[in-house]
A and B are shown apart, each in its own frame.
Chain A
Amino acid sequence: MNANPLLDMVRGIAERNIRVIDLTQTLSPDFPQIELPPEMGQCWPFRLEEVSRYDDRGLAAYWNNFSCGEHTGTHFDAPIHWVSGRNLPNNSTDTVPVENMVAPACVVDCATHAEQNADFLLSADFLRNWEEEHGRIPPRSWVLMRTDWSKRSDPESYQNFDEEGQHTPGPDTDAVRFLVEERDVMGFGSECIGTDAGQAMHLRPPYPCHYYIHGAGRYGLQCLTNLDLLPPTGSVLFTAPLKIKQGSGSPLRVLALVWEG
């Protein structure tokens, strides 16, 4: 045993007793972007433009300029993103306490339900049943909704639009209030393009996850992948957004540590 448990952790990673799992989608121009009504301001998709590629623009170097909105690809939502969190302290990507960027995760498996019903809403009762099996959700932990939605590699099926809009799973109002008010979670994570369900504009209030989570100064993670590789409890997430001044969110690399023993 080392006096410094951090070094034990690093050795654990090297010896594969601890697995590092990437929960991040690749930032690519082909990855779909949130779709808003066309009269609204739009969040830019990820775009890449070459600066040079060992050519007349720069013989020795290959590099790119990229552009995107704060809410592009696998990304982090800060409390200031939503009107309910606009006046909270430390509510933007540059002021979020760094201690909050390392936290345990609970993974709630809704894959079967989401497969049967794209509009599946995760309820408070569903969460209570989950706790009966896996124990109480610890305070300051992430709750990740596993739907296997990230396995939909075709953008059309990932977005899943019809004439009434998007159909993707998410939490209902009671579930979000339960997590925030009774379990004091760090945040809520989803495999879909938003933490809220595709039809959440019709819930009360609209977009309850954004409203309550950010209103309580907590965070969101979207477009996660590989949640099927995580245990229901016991993993630890690293979720450091870019330090954008007054940023409302940021693409980020989400890593999970899993103890394999």
Chain B
Amino acid sequence: MAKPLTKPKRKNPVLRTRAPMLPPAPRSRISLGLTSGAARGAFELQVCRDCGAVQYPPREACRECLSDLLDWTPQRGTGELVAHTTLRHAMENYFRERLPWRLGIVKLDREGANEAPSLIVHVHGDCGEPPCRVRVRAMLDRAGQAVLLALPEKDTPHMSDDPQMRELTCDPKFRKVFVTDGKSPVGQSVVKAMIAAGSDLVWVGEAAPWKKIPGFEEIRALPEVTVVDLDVTNPDSVKRCAGQIGPKVDILVNTAEQHRAYSVGSRYGTENARAEMEINYFGLLRLAQEFGPVMMARGGDTETNAVAWVNILSIFALANNPDQSTFSASKAAAHSLAQAMRAGMHRSGVRVINLYPGPLDVEWNQELRPPKVTPAALARAIVGALQGGAEDVYPGDVAKDWYERWRTDPKVLERELAHGE
């Protein structure tokens, strides 16, 4: 059973902060299909459209019938650990620094007529000696690429504290979290969720300190919380804040958001659209410039290293909701920037996690009918993403529906939205 993680000792300040190392990142284009699924939290393998054979490793043609019609298909992932070994020597620096490392082979359960494939997997410490039943999940590693992890058949106590598991997750437990705006309902929910998930220090940004927002004084009074001044529209404020706490942030959750519900025609002028851009896009850019480098430098810093940057985008970032047109556009800009942040930050092992929620149950969506995602549900989705191995999350029914439609055909979705469907 995994040893419960205890609060790590303070870092010895006379020792160098170790540089972040990454596991091997190269993958073939076909293999990136596994990463595409893992990024959404799904374990998908190719399945042959002609003969039904499940493929592993990813390939161009069916291993049974040579058909090239292979479709990425979700897998249950249950199977049997048939062999395992513990790596005690490695040529890859990433693994060298993390030895011993448990590896194994899992024979997936057969589904249908064809023989199921055997998979090379990382093995969680709580999996028994082979043969034993396990669950396989696809997770992103520190290089942002999919790997397979065999988990015990049923959850075990402190399962997430397993060192190999913790390498694949960004668990808030004993990590220092920075919530950029703690005043909004989402910000307040995120702060509470992070504390519940075991974060022992939550920095909470506060802009416009004169604004009295219900609930914020209770947030301020929480023992894990330290409130810091931060207005993401003010470059000097962002720089000051990063200078103050930057090296003490392991997980940054950007909750700063401007949200109004206007169509192109329902709000004359650009003042509001600029405010949305100023916070949702330029605010993110300022944060990325000030907090990005210091977090990247700490990607390999002891057991409580910098691990994740969380952006709360919107499903409207992928397809513009004409009733919230300028908000959608600002989120599309932030989505685009977040892609670039991923390209920049992956070298450090810091994972950029994007959430694309459907409409939230907040003030500016008052007139929308349910289903709406509550701030608490969004906060749970953030914690779930950090504790899991995904980087793209679509919380809520509307988000899941729009995402599927967008994947199928963005033009069809655009036309349907234009006609109010």
Q: Report A's interface with B, CB cutoff 8 A.
A: 29-30, 32, 35, 39, 41-42, 45, 47-50, 155-156, 158-163
- Kindly list chain A residues whose C-beta atoms are within 8 Å of the C-beta of B236: 29-30, 48
Q: How far is the CB of B242 from chain A (nearest CB, A)?
A: 15
Q: Which residue of B lies closest to A46 (CB)?
A: B234
CB pair A35–B235 under 8 Å, yes or no, is no
Q: Which residue of A lies closest to B272 (CB)?
A: A41
CB pair B212–A41 under 8 Å, yes or no, is no
Q: List 15 A-B contacts (CB under 8 A).
A: A29-B231, A29-B235, A29-B237, A30-B236, A32-B210, A41-B269, A41-B271, A42-B271, A42-B272, A42-B275, A47-B233, A47-B235, A156-B210, A158-B210, A161-B211
A155 touches which one: B210, B233, B271, B272 (CB < 8 A)?
B210
Q: B192-213 interface mask toward A, CB cutoff 8 Å, 1 = contact, 0 = none?
A: 0000000000000000111110
Q: How far is the CB of B403 from chain A (nearest CB, A)?
A: 30
- Kindly list chain B residues whose C-beta atoms are within 8 Å of the C-beta of A155: 209-210
Q: How far is the CB of A5 from chain B (nearest CB, A)?
A: 45
Given contacts A41-B271, A42-B271, whether A29 and B234 have CB atoms under 8 Å apart is yes
Q: How far is the CB of B266 from chain A (nearest CB, A)?
A: 12
Q: How far is the CA of A153 from the CA of B234 in the complex (A)?
A: 19
Interface size class of B (residues with CB under 8 A): 10 to 19
CB pair B210–A160 under 8 Å, yes or no, is yes
CB pair B271–A161 under 8 Å, yes or no, is no
Q: How far is the CB of B211 from chain A (nearest CB, A)?
A: 7
- Kindly list chain A residues whose C-beta atoms are within 8 Å of the C-beta of B208: 32, 35
Q: Which residue of A lies closest to B240 (CB)?
A: A30
A156 touches which one: B209, B260, B272, B275 (CB < 8 A)?
B209
Given contacts A41-B271, A41-B272, whether A48 and B212 have CB atoms under 8 Å apart is no
CB pair B210–A48 under 8 Å, yes or no, is no
Q: How far is the CA of A160 from the CA of B208 in the complex (A)?
A: 12
CB pair A35–B210 under 8 Å, yes or no, is yes
Q: How far is the CA of A48 from the CA of B233 in the complex (A)?
A: 10
Q: How far is the CB of B59 from chain A (nearest CB, A)?
A: 47
Q: Which residue of B lies closest to A49 (CB)?
A: B235
Q: How far is the CB of A84 from chain B (nearest CB, A)?
A: 23
- Kindly list chain A residues whose C-beta atoms are within 8 Å of the C-beta of B233: 45, 47
Q: How far is the CB of A28 from chain B (nearest CB, A)?
A: 9
- Kindly list chain B residues whose C-beta atoms are within 8 Å of the C-beta of A45: 233-234
Q: How far is the CA of A94 from the CA of B210 in the complex (A)?
A: 34
Q: B270-281 interface mask toward A, CB cutoff 8 Å, 1 = contact, 0 = none?
A: 011001000000
- Kindly list chain A residues whose C-beta atoms are within 8 Å of the C-beta of B235: 29, 47-50
